[in-house]
Amino acid sequence: MSFENKLAVVTGGGDGMGRSLAVQLAAEGCHVAMCDISPTGMADTLVAATAAASGDVRITTHVCDVSDEASLIAFRDAVLAEHQTDTVDLLFNNAGIGGGGSFVLDERDAWERTFSICWSGVYLGCRTFLPALMKSDGGHIVNTSSVNGFWASLGPTHPHTAYSAAKFAVKGFTEALIQDLALNAPNLSAHVVMPGHIGTGIAINSAAVHGADLADDPELVERGNSFRNEAPMTADQAGNVILDGVREGRWRILVGEDAHVLDMLVRDRPEKAYDDDFLAVMADQDVMKSLVEIAADDEAAERG
């Protein structure tokens, strides 16, 4: 399939995979409407996407909190008005943060903020844009889950409850949509994206969302930069994998070798997935290093 002359909505477009998706879509001649809570991040994405754009592509930016339905509705209305259309062809529910790792110890506000952005942002995004997607000749709903959508852990010392619960919900919801859309909206298809460790700014961005003063915590910033710069896969590479998966009509899109290996291990040993022996197998497969890095940065973001 071609993305040329279609309209794509991308949440979390101010950084990471959202930025990469916006830039790559624009390069393929796709009109893009992106949202984020960071105007600065979106301004940088707009520059990159405009430079990469192929043909007469329209790119718009919108400040939006995806966990708030009124904010999403305002975003949708602005998108349709600015792009002078009533139709959306692609919806990438990509926005997400970490935090709220422990259900027992962490503050309820942090837990619910993480869960709301990672789950409600997907659910409400689908609800809000469904009428416009229904008018597409061939629309796609692309929801970002995670490896933590099938393995709810970051190892034995780092609880990961809010993020994992949300990502499991995203995965289950998207899988359920496959049959629902086939029966009731056959012009639409659903895709669930499950990335491993991707080089993004999620660690630093999560800390900021939870109220951390990054200027007073250079160690946190250093860890966040390390998470981005030393990841086994870049955000641009992840964007390529995601768009190829949509183009090929695959509903299940694993992103990164670590995601493929972990998926295989969990499927092979489902009842052992949280045992120490399982972690030893992961270490043998060289999966654990990335997950430990994720855990350290997620905990730092969570503690603010």
% of the chain beyond a pLDDT of 70:
94
Catalytic residues: 163
Give residue limits of the domains in the chain: 7-303
CATH number, domain 7-303: 3.40.50.720
Question: pLDDT of 257-267, one tens digit each?
Answer: 999 999 999 99
Six token digits for residue 202: 């999620």
pLDDT at 215 over 80: no
Supply the pTM of this predicted model. Answer: 0.93
Question: pLDDT of 52-104, one tens digit each?
Answer: 999 899 999 999 999 999 999 999 999 999 999 999 999 999 999 999 999 99
Residue 284: its pLDDT value, please? 73
| Tally of helices (H runs) and strands (E runs) in the chain | 12, 9
Burial readout 188-216 (b: 16 or more C-beta within 10 A, e: otherwise)? bbbbbbbbbbbbbbbbbbbbbbbebeeee
Beta strands in the chain (DSSP E): 7-11, 31-36, 59-63, 90-93, 139-144, 188-195, 198-199, 233-234, 252-255
Residue 291: its pLDDT value, please? 54
Residue 290: its pLDDT value, please? 56
Residue 304: its pLDDT value, please? 47
